[in-house]
Amino acid sequence: MSTIWECGLYMSSGTFLVAEDSGALVGCVYIETRGNRSYLGLLSVQPESQGAGLGRRLVAAAENFGRESGSQIMDLRIISARQEQLSPFYQRLGYCLIRTEPFPANSVIKIPSHFILLSKSLI
Ligand SMILES: CC(C)(COP(=O)(O)OP(=O)(O)OC[C@H]1O[C@@H](n2cnc3c(N)ncnc32)[C@H](O)[C@@H]1OP(=O)(O)O)[C@@H](O)C(=O)NCCC(=O)NCCS
Mean per-residue pLDDT, 94-111: 90
CA of 121 to the centre of ligand 1 (A): 20
Q: Which residues contact 53 (CB under 8 A, 6 or more apart)?
A: none
Structural domain count of the chain: 1
The confidence score (pLDDT) of residue 95 equals: 98
pLDDT tens-digit profile of 45-88?
999 999 999 999 999 999 999 999 999 999 999 999 999 999 99
Comparing CA positions, the residue from 55, 47, 43 lying closest to residue 2 is 55
CA of 105 to the centre of ligand 1 (A): 30
**Is 0.85 surpassed by the pTM of this model?**
yes
CA–centroid distance for 31 within its chain: 7
Nearest atom, ligand 1, residue 49 CA: 7
Largest CA distance in the chain: 43
CA of 97 to the centre of ligand 1 (A): 17
17: CATH: 3.40.630.30
Residue 96 scores a pLDDT above 80: yes
User: Is 116:97 a contact under the CB 8 Å cutoff?
Assistant: yes
Pocket of ligand 1 (CB under 6 A): 43-45, 50-56, 78, 85-86, 88-89, 92
- Per the structure, the complete domain to which residue 27 belongs is given by 3-121
